Structure 1
């Protein structure tokens, strides 16, 4: 109950929700997420509350629950603010001298920020915290070192952090406010204002918290001091007030919160009885000049100053204790300038909001300062009375006595000033403003002004508000109107006699949804409608509301379950909960049960609300048909296709509750709407509704009782849709999907169909399979599978030749020969959905299908002469589906059943397809599309390996498959794409935990330990910083254990190749992590044979992939990083391991000879430069010769980059050709390598450089090969 009771507290979405949030918090204190048996204590101490089935009341004795929570009161005080001790210690630390305050201040801010969502939890210590921080600031003010105010600034910054969380008005209450504080606080404020104005490090402090936080808190502090009752003449500084007013006027032009604090402070000071006669007229004259200046010339400075002026005036009208006549005398001078201003500005919402507030407060000043006696007064309100089955006579009299018209004192008739009528007209216009904040301010203004009007005028205001609901297209008027109605009801200004006119409008607002192209507007209106209902539930007695509760409750429950927006669902639930609590559970059948089911958290998930919560509530009396009817008439035709699908699904679920209504009313209606030619939404939703309703009825066999006419209409519906060509034009795709779903549901229900009708449905599916839309293909394949199972039986001898040709042979032929990629994708997918009776009537058919898919799954396969990633992915998925469908069986033990399964040979073929799919690294304009095949292969091989593991005969499959699977997945786990790593990690976890396969996986225990996959707990494998440090441990597996050198080498190569791709990738976070773990591993290998093994494997990979840019470019980047960190220096300098440098140079030469890719050539140059220092002379000569060759490369960018790198390496390596270095450097510097010059000229320059460096022979050797 308590969790639900605070729905509005967490309400989000717009400003209405924010105010709603504040209202509930002020009334009820602690929100749900912090509620426990201890935390709720203070709530129960202040309010009467029903809690489940137990009544708790401080007037009727204590229940066991109340006694329990009261006993925990003392302990709950500490639970509310868990960091209390630490916070006070930090505050004390800030008051000490000679220490650094930055760290404690930062920690204090983080503690306070934790309570932003529920600041009332700080209330128990708020006063003590505020006073200690204020005392710390005061102590600093009283010292002689007032040039810096260091301690004060930190203390005020902490106070600001506290005010940000709890609100400045609450913090102000606890600030010290003695007369002696006025001048020190003012002096400090002057100092920090000077710092802000100068903005120079020589004058203002350069370290510490922002100065503006101190200014903000000091203005708030000065505002509190203005309330101290003393005569300003006793101040030593006679000019203090005037200086304060001048400084305040300057601060009014600030754009931030300083303006708010300064405006409140100025309003409070100039409203003092001893200052108002002088200061208010002076401020009004200055304000008039500011407003007129802004009207003449718009600028940001003038705008902020104008906002500050209006804030100050509104605050003065609110806070001043001066008589309203004197206020009117002072502020009337601003009426005309503001009237002119309001007519010229329309685009500044903040200014419009303040103008609305100004009109409302000035109107109140024009009217008698009293609350209207004609307003509705409900009397004492107790939640306890509303949960009793029968209220006592005394309570009933108490609640209804306010309705006695003859006991209400009549207002004296008085003339409403013209200014009030003019202002009220502008306030009502504000209810339709573009901005929500303006509309909300206008709604409060309407309530504030109406509260002082005569009853007749109040009725006129209500009539004006109700006129807003006549415009069906203006959502702003509806929103503003709902807010205004709520305000009128809250203040008792909406009399019960008018509820009959108002309630229908509220119901319409709760369900308001105005379509606009491909979206809609109205969520804010529905939210405001729920708020209005909430306000009504609180404002009126159960006797007044009882005639309207039935219709209101149904509307609000529908919104709580079926609204598209989560904030509206939660708002409706909170409003219904308030109504049940305030109006009495007896007035709401199953009200408490509904609240228990549909609470704040459960309504957060839209699918759950539709398919689960709605079903539970539909089973309650009185809600079944309203829910079904709302789905049938409204939600099935919603503009959002997702809502239409959910509504159809929910309708199918509810069909089991009221079968007769669905069969006799819903289905005929939807069948008619399914053929609507004009409206796509209607025919799509209706078609889905028919399909899902039929499916729901079939689950209870109720469809067998359908009237013959309806059965005929359903079976002919697909033909009718096709005859009317409803697949064509805009929206044809979604109609195809809906028809496929309809066919699927017909097949699941097994409606009686003739052979001709069965074939027509199969033809319809056949037409959708080759559609370019993947979703349509998916729906068509699902329908195909169910249709074949339900209507196309297979005898003992297998399928007929006609059926075999119609399905299997046709699909295989299209996959093998089709040039249309969409058709190939569709039929490759569809063949995986065929039932086993068609896939495997004999071994040759099954082998033919697998061979067809094997060819289509190869990464070099073509469709219409082009590569198609979707076809390859679908082929792999279909192979997995076929293996699952036909099963795995030992051929030697297979029975005479004509349906066969996968044997050893076919099983090996399927696994080979998956291993080949993991080598798909195809790239197109969409990126690494080959990753789709890799992900599908990992999923498929794990599924197949799981099935193999369940077979008692281990000879059915090649025993090398498990560790090949593991090494392949480990490679994907080491690579650069986050989603692929996540899938690889999940698949590897599943494989490692297969106990029957464990014996075939070498080093399984070590792999499990290294990766930390002892159980199936979810790991974030997509996070490189989590995955790579674990994966790199696998490089040590066979070194430590050496159980199987071949398997160990396979793991080693897989991990290293994957990390190389990641370290050389483009994603910075991934390549940093991969580079770091590789370099750290190489450093740990120093002085051992493991380093030589790492280098050897690196060179093996280089030699294997020479000319393959996908792998070579990241390998070159990785190699450059490792050489730069000098991890291979011991190998390069040791004559016994110098073959590493030789192999590396050979690979670089081979790569340069075959490469025409500029990025690879540039990276190759960097690797040569990084490799040259410390290598044997022969390798060095070849490297320099290769650089010389690259300086005459056909690509200018390669030439210029090589020349730059060449120059740097010659500068660093003075020992190489030292006598010729100056000449070589001069040639390199003076030759324009990047320009488009004659190739012969560049070739001559290259030879000249090579000749000086004595590598001409090596250069000629490189050029002739």
Structure 2
């Protein structure tokens, strides 16, 4: 009897289904993008339409093909809209094998994260035998040669995770298929195949080790030779393409370093084989990195090479006694230390990270030499002042080396972190926190400071857990104070990192970090319960907390130094909340003369220590202007503080041509007029000097601010002459010629009974004419 649906079945089997299956995986690269996502999305819609148009029983002959294709699309498609469309179509059809379980794992929201799809959901679905082989075949046939490198890399990691689901199939079918592709001509396929060989080999060897089998259980002689052959073929390709296609060479360096790492971790039986020397050569060359490749690509190459070096050394350079060959050790350590003084920054970076990755048996007996080399790489010299990345990587390497060799208080400084070298290590790391180098990229010293803070935390916790007595009170005080300063500064990400490290050390209790100054007060300000919730990136949350440290004598100087940069900065939110927090603290201590005197002494100390250090002094002048305007020093009438502050401000702007600094100082001088007595005459004389400054903008700004000052402090001028003084200040064109301006300025001096600055000489220095003024037996520029 003829089947009533035979025409439908024939049409579906021979025409519709093949087209739908092809459309679900259609992807074609055109230029820098691809076409195909709309086709794949439409194919999912067609599958959805089948469920709406036909009875489920009519689709049973085709259900396995369609289900596999939809599951693959839902998990492995590049575009989220296609993954979600496939997931919805799968849900509506609803008659697939293990449909309920798969729908739960790969629902509409779960497939939104591509990494989760490739590395987690795929492993769960591959646990059902109907889908295991189709998923693996799809990755091998369609994804490891994908035009998008991210998809290729995710696919190889997915193959690693899927290997335990079908180890024999991977070893006997997939790996032999990939080996020829890894030395083929298509670069995308070659890249993906090499990574896939590396990941599958690593997974198979781990599986063999877990089952107490030989690492070569899943590999025949041909497979082992094929894995070794990849390196030789890639070297030939690098030689061919090096001067033509640097991006191609970048791919090859990254890929082969990953291959070396995975084969080393797999404990492949290559000990003593000449291939090891070839691997080491390629790692060393990768550490030097390509000179014309982008900095981001170079960083990726270095990181890949460092990982490969660590795995290679741990597997092939250690003998049965747990030691290294002395000649090999000398060659590696000497090569990497000598590279730390290279004139190329990226070479310094690579060799610093390489030293940090060396295992303990290669550092044994050479620790002091390594630490000295890394210390030199952190020192700023005129020739390498812009080498911030090299200094950053050297500081990171110091912490890694310390963690590798371990701690032994009475041990040798050539083998352990001990009492003989711990001070030197801390001195190097603490010096890194003071790096404020800037160049065209901005505050590049921030990278160094961040690495220094991280390394300080790692070394300190290492010592706390092993030899607490190696941490003395002075070192701990310096660490916490420098972290407090960084936590009060203006750049959000560095402030957040400093705050995180500060709280980690404060609340660490296995065992606690010793000698933390004012621990009880700090734990009250920063309770353990709020460690995770305090948002250091938000100025509104960070500054109200950090300014409370101003009341702790040990931290006051450093917090005030950090706040000076924030309160006098240019970022609106940082400036607003830092200034608001500082003024609130000043109000609390306003009536406490001893607290105020201590604060003012610290403030003057900060100013004195950073005189002519524009990074601090310029924003500090702005902060002082705001503090004087807000009446923070009203408690003082006759006190040396205003005089010292005046002298420091005058010294700061001496011979300065920095317009921002000069304008900030004008505000400070105007604020100092509030202090009566001899101070007013000194301030007025200084302001009148600025009224005839060579820069017109300074003359104009001075006149404007003096006008506002006289309105605020009307007792400065005799009311009888007030109108005339104000008229001169407001009506004079202070941007006119100096001879005209000087006449007006001298008239003001006569009216206000302030000594007139007298021009005594002119000295020509190069092309610059210097004028000097004499008043009260003092010479002024």
TM-score (norm 1): 0.56
Q: CA deviation at 1:960?
A: 2.7
One of 352, 357, 363 as aligned partner of 1:833: 357
Q: CA deviation at 1:1083?
A: 1.3
Give the 5 Å matches for 1:151-230: none
Is 1:522 paired with 2:36?
yes
Contact kept? 1:981, 1:1022, Cα under 8 Å? yes
Q: CA deviation at 1:627?
A: 1.0
One of 298, 310, 318 as aligned partner of 1:793: 318
Is 1:941 paired with 2:456?
yes
Is 1:1200 paired with 2:708?
no
Contact kept? 1:1008, 1:1014, Cα under 8 Å? no
Task: Determine the C-alpha separation between the residues in 1 that align with 2:69 and 2:578.
Answer: 57
Give the 5 Å matches for 1:1090-1101: 1090-1101=595-606
Secondary structure of residue in 1 paired with 2:164: coil
Q: CA deviation at 1:655?
A: 2.1
Could you say which residue in structure 2 is the equivalent of 1:758? 276
Question: RMSD over aligned Cα, in angstroms?
Answer: 2.7
Give the 5 Å matches for 1:35-46: none
Task: Determine the C-alpha separation between the residues in 1 that align with 2:723 and 2:444.
Answer: 52
Q: CA deviation at 1:885?
A: 0.6
Question: How has the CA–CA distance of structure 1 residues 1233 and 496 changed in structure 2, closer, same or farther, with 3 Å as cutoff?
Answer: farther
Task: Determine the C-alpha separation between the residues in 1 that align with 2:458 and 2:307.
Answer: 20
Task: Determine the C-alpha separation between the residues in 1 that align with 2:564 and 2:542.
Answer: 14
Task: Determine the C-alpha separation between the residues in 2 that align with 1:497 and 1:834.
Answer: 65
Q: Structure 1, residues 1105-1161: CA drift from partner, whole Å, max 9, x if none? A: 111111122212222222222121222xx22xx212112111110111153321111
Could you say which residue in structure 1 is the equivalent of 2:657? 1156
Q: Structure 1, residues 214-259: CA drift from partner, whole Å, max 9, x if none? A: xxxxxxxxxxxxxxxxxxxxxxxxxxxxxxxxxxxxxxxxxxxxxx
Q: CA deviation at 1:1080?
A: 1.2
Is 1:1026 paired with 2:527?
no
Question: How has the CA–CA distance of structure 1 residues 1242 and 590 changed in structure 2, closer, same or farther, with 3 Å as cutoff?
Answer: same
One of 680, 684, 689 as aligned partner of 2:191: 684
Q: CA deviation at 1:647?
A: 0.6
Contact kept? 1:857, 1:872, Cα under 8 Å? yes
Task: Determine the C-alpha separation between the residues in 1 that align with 2:9 and 2:220.
Answer: 49
Could you say which residue in structure 1 is the equivalent of 2:645? 1144
One of 300, 322, 325 as aligned partner of 1:775: 300
Choose 1 or 2 for highest CA Rg: 1
Deviates more, 1:571-580 or 1:499-508: 499-508
Could you say which residue in structure 2 is the equivalent of 1:868? 387
Give the 5 Å matches for 1:399-418: none
One of 628, 648, 669 as aligned partner of 2:136: 628
**Residue segments in structure 2 that go unaligned for 5+ positions in a row:** 209-214, 290-294, 758-772
Give the 5 Å matches for 1:264-283: none
Q: Structure 1, residues 61-98: CA drift from partner, whole Å, max 9, x if none? A: xxxxxxxxxxxxxxxxxxxxxxxxxxxxxxxxxxxxxx
Secondary structure of residue in 1 paired with 2:735: coil
Secondary structure of residue in 2 paired with 1:515: strand
Is 1:812 paired with 2:329?
no
Contact kept? 1:855, 1:861, Cα under 8 Å? no
Could you say which residue in structure 2 is the equivalent of 1:575? 89
Task: Determine the C-alpha separation between the residues in 1 that align with 2:743 and 2:372.
Answer: 59
Task: Determine the C-alpha separation between the residues in 2 that align with 1:708 and 1:1006.
Answer: 68
Could you say which residue in structure 2 is the equivalent of 1:803? 328
Q: CA deviation at 1:1251?
A: 5.0
Question: How has the CA–CA distance of structure 1 residues 716 and 1246 changed in structure 2, closer, same or farther, with 3 Å as cutoff?
Answer: farther
Question: How has the CA–CA distance of structure 1 residues 776 and 999 changed in structure 2, closer, same or farther, with 3 Å as cutoff?
Answer: closer
Could you say which residue in structure 2 is the equivalent of 1:712? 225
Task: Determine the C-alpha separation between the residues in 1 that align with 2:36 and 2:618.
Answer: 54
One of 1055, 1061, 1071 as aligned partner of 2:559: 1055
Is 1:1088 paired with 2:603?
no
Q: Structure 1, residues 532-561: CA drift from partner, whole Å, max 9, x if none? A: 212212321123111221111111110111
Contact kept? 1:1102, 1:1115, Cα under 8 Å? yes
Q: Structure 1, residues 332-371: CA drift from partner, whole Å, max 9, x if none? A: xxxxxxxxxxxxxxxxxxxxxxxxxxxxxxxxxxxxxxxx
Task: Determine the C-alpha separation between the residues in 1 that align with 2:188 and 2:600.
Answer: 64
Contact kept? 1:1189, 1:1263, Cα under 8 Å? no
Task: Determine the C-alpha separation between the residues in 2 that align with 1:613 and 1:826.
Answer: 37
Task: Determine the C-alpha separation between the residues in 2 that align with 1:787 and 1:999.
Answer: 39
One of 1060, 1063, 1066 as aligned partner of 2:570: 1066
Question: How has the CA–CA distance of structure 1 residues 826 and 1251 changed in structure 2, closer, same or farther, with 3 Å as cutoff?
Answer: farther
Task: Determine the C-alpha separation between the residues in 1 that align with 2:101 and 2:711.
Answer: 84
TM-score (norm 2): 0.89
Could you say which residue in structure 2 is the equivalent of 1:1255? 754
Task: Determine the C-alpha separation between the residues in 2 that align with 1:1214 and 1:1018.
Answer: 50
Give the 5 Å matches for 1:845-994: 845-858=366-379, 860-861=380-381, 864-891=383-410, 900-951=415-466, 953-994=467-508
Q: CA deviation at 1:1247?
A: 5.0
Question: How has the CA–CA distance of structure 1 residues 794 and 957 changed in structure 2, closer, same or farther, with 3 Å as cutoff?
Answer: farther
Question: How has the CA–CA distance of structure 1 residues 1247 and 1263 changed in structure 2, closer, same or farther, with 3 Å as cutoff?
Answer: farther
Task: Determine the C-alpha separation between the residues in 2 that align with 1:1019 and 1:505.
Answer: 56
Q: CA deviation at 1:928?
A: 1.6
Question: How has the CA–CA distance of structure 1 residues 593 and 1054 changed in structure 2, closer, same or farther, with 3 Å as cutoff?
Answer: same
Contact kept? 2:473, 2:516, Cα under 8 Å? no
Task: Determine the C-alpha separation between the residues in 2 that align with 1:1263 and 1:1009.
Answer: 53
Task: Determine the C-alpha separation between the residues in 1 that align with 2:647 and 2:299.
Answer: 48
Task: Determine the C-alpha separation between the residues in 2 that align with 1:1112 and 1:854.
Answer: 30
Secondary structure of residue in 2 paired with 1:637: coil
Task: Determine the C-alpha separation between the residues in 1 that align with 2:249 and 2:406.
Answer: 38
Task: Determine the C-alpha separation between the residues in 1 that align with 2:722 and 2:104.
Answer: 87
Is 1:733 paired with 2:250?
yes
Contact kept? 2:378, 2:432, Cα under 8 Å? yes
Could you say which residue in structure 1 is the equivalent of 2:769? none
Question: How has the CA–CA distance of structure 1 residues 1243 and 785 changed in structure 2, closer, same or farther, with 3 Å as cutoff?
Answer: farther
Q: CA deviation at 1:1248?
A: 5.3
Q: CA deviation at 1:769?
A: 0.6
Q: CA deviation at 1:1092?
A: 2.9
Could you say which residue in structure 1 is the equivalent of 2:235? 722
Q: CA deviation at 1:511?
A: 1.9
Question: How has the CA–CA distance of structure 1 residues 812 and 404 changed in structure 2, closer, same or farther, with 3 Å as cutoff?
Answer: closer
Q: Structure 1, residues 371-391: CA drift from partner, whole Å, max 9, x if none? A: xxxxxxxxxxxxxxxxxxxxx
Q: Structure 1, residues 1199-1252: CA drift from partner, whole Å, max 9, x if none? A: 3322332343345555445466666556555654435x4x66656665554455
One of 1102, 1119, 1126 as aligned partner of 2:631: 1126
Question: How has the CA–CA distance of structure 1 residues 1123 and 989 changed in structure 2, closer, same or farther, with 3 Å as cutoff?
Answer: same
Could you say which residue in structure 2 is the equivalent of 1:657? 165
Q: CA deviation at 1:851?
A: 1.7
Task: Determine the C-alpha separation between the residues in 1 that align with 2:672 and 2:105.
Answer: 70
Give the 5 Å matches for 1:177-576: 498-500=11-13, 501-576=15-90
Question: How has the CA–CA distance of structure 1 residues 905 and 1157 changed in structure 2, closer, same or farther, with 3 Å as cutoff?
Answer: farther
Task: Determine the C-alpha separation between the residues in 1 that align with 2:517 and 2:304.
Answer: 43
Task: Determine the C-alpha separation between the residues in 2 that align with 1:528 and 1:1091.
Answer: 74
Question: How has the CA–CA distance of structure 1 residues 495 and 1007 changed in structure 2, closer, same or farther, with 3 Å as cutoff?
Answer: same
Contact kept? 1:861, 1:867, Cα under 8 Å? no
Question: How has the CA–CA distance of structure 1 residues 885 and 1154 changed in structure 2, closer, same or farther, with 3 Å as cutoff?
Answer: farther
Deviates more, 1:703-712 or 1:829-838: 703-712
Task: Determine the C-alpha separation between the residues in 1 that align with 2:698 and 2:488.
Answer: 32
Is 1:824 paired with 2:331?
no
Could you say which residue in structure 1 is the equivalent of 2:146? 638
